[in-house]
Amino acid sequence: MKGLLISDFNIENLSSYLKKEPNAPAIESVSVCYGQVSQTLLDDAAPIWSERPDFVVAWTRPEGVLEAFRRMLDCCSVSENDLNEQVDAFIAALHRASRRTAAIFVPTWVISAFHQTHGLLDLSSSMGVARALMRINMRLIESLENIPTAHALWAEKWVQLGGPTAFNERLWYLGKIPFSNEVFKAAARDLKAALRGLNGQAKKVVILDLDETLWGGIVGETGWQGLILGGHDPAGEALVDFQRELKALTRRGILLAIVSKNEEAVAMEAIAKHPEMVLKLDDFAGWRINWKDKVENMIDLVAELNLGLDSVVFIDDNPVERARVREALPQLCVPDWPSDKRLYPEALLSLDYFDRPSLTEEDRRRVRMVAVDRVRKQSKMSVSDLDGWLATLKTTVTVEELNQGNLLRAAQLLNKTNQMNLSTRRMCEADFQDWARQRGHRVWTFRVSDKFGDSGLTGLLSIEVDGSQARITDFVLSCRVMGRKIEEAMLHMAIRWARSVGVRDVFAKYNQTAKNKPCYEFLQKSGLTRRSEDVFVWDVAQAYPLHAAICLVCEGSGVFEKTSAEINRPELIPTVDRLL
Amino acid sequence: MKAKKEELLDIIYQSLDEVNEQLPNEARIQKSPDAALVGGDGGLDSLGVVNFVALVEEKCARKYGIALSLTDTPSEDDDALEDVGKFADFLFRRLNEISPVEL
């Protein structure tokens, strides 16, 4: 990825660490000469923008970009209005620059403790530097929330990780570098984690060992009563905290699973009966508890969860098991793990694999939905044929046009889905919204629910009309609902709309990736005619059937109202704003 | 304050470890008295020198409790950054100027 670093100080050290930090994505960055912040942000024609950077980092010192703050450091009295106006002008410049990149990262402002030496005055309303810093940071953070591609980063954390020499006077006077390298290293790690999150590369599941990992001791030897977990014991208390942090991950949409060499019944009993277990059986999306090789179990379990191996973090106390898994499954992330159990919570919290730009309701409910899916699959086993099973599910598919309310989740789905994904386009929210606003473009989202529960917004279809033809641009479905005739319902929806606007045929061009074979397999059996190796077409003279077990609900008006002639008239182009 | 030349080499090597983290593998400075720091086959550019000198100053301050400035070098030390060994000699002399140093 190409990055552009804009700063009022020498930021080359960050550039070096971004390049050298081993985790993905690979980054090549260029930095603007320091002190050129406003000029660069405001000048659309500056040559540095010609290579449209994938992301921008605008990292400044408050005294470097806010003259009023500089005066505060000199103990001058400054009005709140003056300071606010300058903050707003800086934010306006960021807003302008944000149009030239997919993501702009803005670290919050920090100042050295040496600038906060006025005792009680530091927090006073008239000239309190610390108070002003908090205020301008809040104003910055809140304003950035209104810029779709902007993301604030908490630089205070990097300074804390940098320790007492985080602000480095030597480097400042030698090279106009305000921070020690530990600060830049922490910043590089966070930036990369944020980029992974934006690119849909955040890890999705943590697979855990049991003995000496989730609890202390060997359950097969001591029984659950003899395990070290909770109580007045340093390791026991730390393990409870470790489980608490794992539970917190589930509220961020990260799945938990178990791969352990144990007797399943014994382990299950421990999870169910140990009074200090924070994690309950429902917190786990799946498990393989047996005496087989862990690698084999891992592959099997990840397939069951419909995830890729590269979305997995594996935590095991045993270095031999870790080495075995690392060697056999290099796609997996297997962090080194401390032998001291008191360090487990910190080790987990320091993993930067789970960063996401936002958290949707679907994320929060994911663990519950996966648990429900397990029950759903069990019910499938009790019904002999697919149609019979589908009929028992009572599935409802609710269609909505893209709007401000579902944009976040829709963009997330677009960027994270690999398997049932026709073109694997990756777009940030703002770009996707812009695309949807273009003439002849439509985007629908699909929400799926059945008698077991609500799977949430799990499907997305976009279409673009060109004359008498309509092309399905995106056909995206979460693996959680694949194989339940939702795919057919989505096609039905697109073709029904195409019929209503007088389009002659609808086609889909499959763009092969390493992971989207399921989409190809669906297209092959979808009933669409194969026009070439990767193009499938449907003549809309004929309706595309909807499975009898599916109830399709179209939310909002206008879904089928426009004709093909009309949709090419600019005044009738659906805009996200108008659909609000 | 008592310093040995081996200790100073150790400080230089620790600093090089940190500087090397930022350099491409092929440009890394070897931890050897003969390794060039700048010029010729040396890998440090001006930013690298700034980082390296600041790290050495910081580590000396931590170890010996001395605020040392290595940038205001006398003209006879112009070649101090030529290689690791010369820099160690230079560092030794500078520390010695501040306080007698034990070999």
Contact A580, A406 (CB under 8 A): no
Q: What is the CATH number of the domain that holds A165?
A: 3.40.50.1110
Alpha-carbon span A101 to A428, nearest angstrom? 10
Average pLDDT, chain A: 88
β-bridge pairing A420-421 and A2-7: unpaired
| N-to-C CA span, chain A | 34
Determine, yes or no, domain membership for A356.
no
Q: In which region does residue A108 sit, left (phi positive, over 0), alpha (psi from -120 to 50) or beta (all else)? A: beta
Report CB contact under 8 Å: B18, A181: yes
Q: What is the CATH number of the domain that holds A211?
A: 3.40.50.1000
Contact A476, A422 (CB under 8 A): yes
Domain boundaries, chain B: 5-98
| N-to-C CA span, chain B | 12
Report CB contact under 8 Å: B22, A168: no
Residues of A within 8 A of B18 (CB-CB) are 181
Q: Is A199 helix (H, G, I), strand (E, B) or coil?
A: coil
Q: Do A211 and A189 lie in a common domain?
A: no
Alpha-carbon span A176 to A282, nearest angstrom? 53
Q: Do A266 and A341 lie in a common domain?
A: yes
Alpha-carbon span A152 to A166, nearest angstrom? 20
Determine, yes or no, domain membership for A451.
yes
Return the pLDDT at A337: 96
Q: What is the strand order of the sheet A205-208 is part of?
A: A284-290, A255-261, A205-208, A312-315
Q: Is B43 helix (H, G, I), strand (E, B) or coil?
A: coil
B22 touches chain A (CB under 8 A): yes
B18 touches chain A (CB under 8 A): yes
Handedness of CA B19, B23, B25, B29 (dihedral sign): negative
Q: Do A370 and A343 lie in a common domain?
A: no
Q: Do A257 and A221 lie in a common domain?
A: yes
Q: Which residue of A13, A19, A165 is in closest CB contact with B58? A: A165
Q: Do A469 and A494 lie in a common domain?
A: yes
Helix B46-64 with A12-20: angle, nearest 10 deg: 90
B6 touches chain A (CB under 8 A): no
Alpha-carbon span A316 to A444, nearest angstrom? 42
Quote ipTM for the complex: 0.81
Return the pLDDT at B42: 59
Q: Do A370 and A341 lie in a common domain?
A: no
Phi, psi of A292 (to 5 degrees): -75, 170
Return the pLDDT at A480: 79
Expressed as residue numbers, the domain containing A436 is 361-579
Residues of A within 8 A of B21 (CB-CB) are 17, 20, 181, 185
Name the one residue in this structure whose structure tokens are 């050298």: A20
Helix (H) or strand (E) segment spanning residue B67 = none
Interface contacts A/B by beta carbons within 8 Å: 38
Percent of residues, chain A, with pLDDT higher than 70: 94
Last residue in a domain, options A198, A217, A249: A198
Return the pLDDT at A564: 38
Q: Do A342 and A366 lie in a common domain?
A: no
Q: What fold is seen in the domain B5-98?
A: 1.10.1200
DSSP A163-188: GGGSB-HHHHHHHS--B-HHHHHHHH
Q: Do A486 and A443 lie in a common domain?
A: yes
Q: What is the CATH number of the domain that holds A469?
A: 3.40.630.30
Q: Do A288 and A191 lie in a common domain?
A: no
Report CB contact under 8 Å: B47, A171: no
Q: Which of A16, A168, A170, A177 to mutate to test the interface with B (most CBs of B within 10 A)?
A: A170
Report CB contact under 8 Å: A10, B47: yes
Pick the closest to residue A399 from A484, A480, A473, A458 (CA basis): A458
At position B4, the amino acid (one-letter code) is K
Give residues with Cβ within 8 angstroms of A397, minimum separation 6.
Answer: A446, A447, A448, A459, A486, A489, A490, A550, A551, A552, A553
Q: Residue B4: which pLDDT band, with cuts at 50, 70 and 90?
A: confident
Over range B23-49, report the average pLDDT.
84
Alpha-carbon span A264 to A289, nearest angstrom? 5
Name the one residue in this structure whose structure tokens are 């019944």: A265
Last residue in a domain, options A198, A231, A262: A198
Percent of residues, chain A, with pLDDT higher than 90: 62
Q: Do A138 and A8 lie in a common domain?
A: yes
Return the pLDDT at A559: 52
Last residue in a domain, options A198, A223, A252: A198
Report CB contact under 8 Å: A174, B53: yes
Q: Is A215 helix (H, G, I), strand (E, B) or coil?
A: strand
Q: Residue B75: which pLDDT band, with cuts at 50, 70 and 90?
A: low
Taking residue A577's Cβ as centre, other Cβ atoms within 10 Å add up to 10
Closest Cα in chain B to A19:
B22
Q: Do A388 and A490 lie in a common domain?
A: yes
Q: Is A441 helix (H, G, I), strand (E, B) or coil?
A: strand
DSSP A400-436: EE--TTTHHHHHHHHHH--SEESS-----HHHHHHHH
Q: Do A164 and A58 lie in a common domain?
A: yes
Contact A123, A129 (CB under 8 A): no
Total number of domains constituting chain A: 3
Q: Which residues of chain A have pLDDT under 50?
A: 557-558, 560-580
Closest Cα in chain A to B48:
A13
